Amino acid sequence: MSITRSISRLQAMPVQQIIEQYGSPLYLYDGDKMIAQYKQLNAAFGGLKLKVKYALKANNNINVLRLLLHQGSGLDAVSIQEVQLGLKAGFAPSAILFTPNSVSFEEIVEAVDLGVQVNIDNISLLEQFGHKYGNAVPCCIRINPHIVAGGTAHIQTGHIDSKFGISIHQLRHVLRIVAKENIRVNGLHMHTGSDILDSGVFIRAAELLFDAAGQFPDLEFLDFGSGFKVAYKEDDVVTDVEELGKVITERFQAFCSEYGRELELWFEPGKFLVSESGYLLVKVNVIKQTTATVFVGVDSGQNHLIRPMFYDAYHHIINLSNPQGTPRIYTVVGYICETDTFALDRKLNEVREGDILAILNAGAYGYTMSNNYNSRPRPAEVMMLEGKAHLVRRRETLEDIMRNMTDI
């Protein structure tokens, strides 16, 4: 979806009423957009036994999980707590893939006890898993293909120095462990990182996975991760999932024919499903002009949306209160006592104190990465669904922040 269309969808919502009822700052989600993204991805791979495993680290609100559950989605969880959240949301254990990183073996055991599909990404845990379970419990193995996706280094997970996955060059050793411990490997997994623009990256990594898969006779699925790029700027190039679907479908069907039976194809989209559906609505507290810069200071900060400071991520910003105002150059900053910049030298329609700004593409890695720095509470979350606004998480209070503190 283009930025223009995202803005149009937002402008069709009763934003002022929502702000008046629930206050600011506030996360606003377009549930219908999430559903549309899910359906688009499924349609692109219509010729395959596709399983979508939503990466809930992107947005873990239980109402988002249930919304996607009702569409038929499974879950990709990266912590035992995410597994437990998925079970509380109503997902069957068999619909949850557990892909942790640098966890203790005790967490793996807990996941097995809960009945979810375990995905192992290092040799030490694979050896321990085989020693304990043999072929009684199947597992998936995460392979690092050493192929780099697009985007910045922060979001690349398939390069040679990545902590994620078992190197494709260690496959012979993996096979020895599998044979020695009689491990039943029912899936292979890879994830090259985010912001993949063309099918070539997927195909190059997929060929490595296909080659490896031929050495595992009990496979039920291959998991290609995700990394589909969405638009953050008006002229952004995005992943063409329809084109990707055609290319991957043809090659995957050929592989299944060679393998001897039809396998399931899994993807783990997070950002693709929820990023464009989300908006962080903030109120302008102050306009502050210095000798060099005109600052717009808002009632939020990196404590609510850390991506601009953490990833140097671009988020489009619009002035909802003055859409016809004269465009001027501003730097939009937060109220946290740190360098706390949402946007540097950004052209916005003239901003006045009290205006409401919308920060776009805030549906993924927004609230889930938020914190209470400076003792600031987290904002409320509201979901628009079929024309109605639903409060899906209450605004925090100081009492919430102090809840687990004890006296001495």
User: 398 is in which domain, residue-wise?
Assistant: 275-402
Q: Does 131 lie in the same domain as 242? A: yes
What does the pLDDT look like over 329-360, one tens digit per residue? 999 999 999 999 999 999 999 999 999 999 99
DSSP state at residue 373 = G
Residues 153 and 295 in one domain: no
From the list 139, 140, 256, 337, the catalytic residue is 337
Distance separating alpha carbons of residues 214 and 175, to the nearest angstrom: 12
One domain for residues 145 and 228: yes
Check which CATH number belongs to the domain holding 165 and give it.
3.20.20.10
Q: What is the pTM of this model?
A: 0.94
CATH number of 284's domain: 2.40.37.10
Q: Based on the domain organization, do 237 and 308 belong to the same domain?
A: no
95 shares a domain with 224:
yes
Judge whether 263 and 256 are in contact, CB under 8 Å.
yes
Q: What's residue 198's pLDDT?
A: 62
Co-location of 335 and 286 in the same domain: yes
Q: What is the mean pLDDT of residues 27-54?
A: 96
339 part of a folded domain = yes
Average pLDDT of 142-152? 72
Q: Chain-wide mean pLDDT for the chain?
A: 93
Segment 196-201 mean pLDDT: 68
Report if residue 394 sits inside a domain: yes
Q: What is the mean pLDDT of residues 168-190?
A: 97
Q: Calculate the alpha carbon distances from 293 to 252, 302, 326, 330 in Å.
A: 54, 20, 17, 7
Q: Would residue 139 show up in a list of annotated catalytic residues for this protein?
A: no
Residue 53 vs residues 278, 280, 288, 292: alpha-carbon distances, Å: 20, 25, 45, 48
Question: Do 112 and 250 belong to one domain?
Answer: yes
Last residue of a domain, one of 215, 249, 269: 269
Q: Give CA–CA dist 52/317, Å, rounded.
A: 31
For the stretch 257-315, pLDDT in tens is 999 999 999 999 999 999 999 999 999 999 999 999 999 999 999 999 999 999 999 99
Quick check: is 223 in a domain?
A: yes
**Domain shared by 264 and 338, yes or no:** no
pLDDT at 204: 83
Distance CA 332, CA 317 (A): 9
Q: What percent of the chain has pLDDT over 70?
A: 95
Domain count, the chain: 2
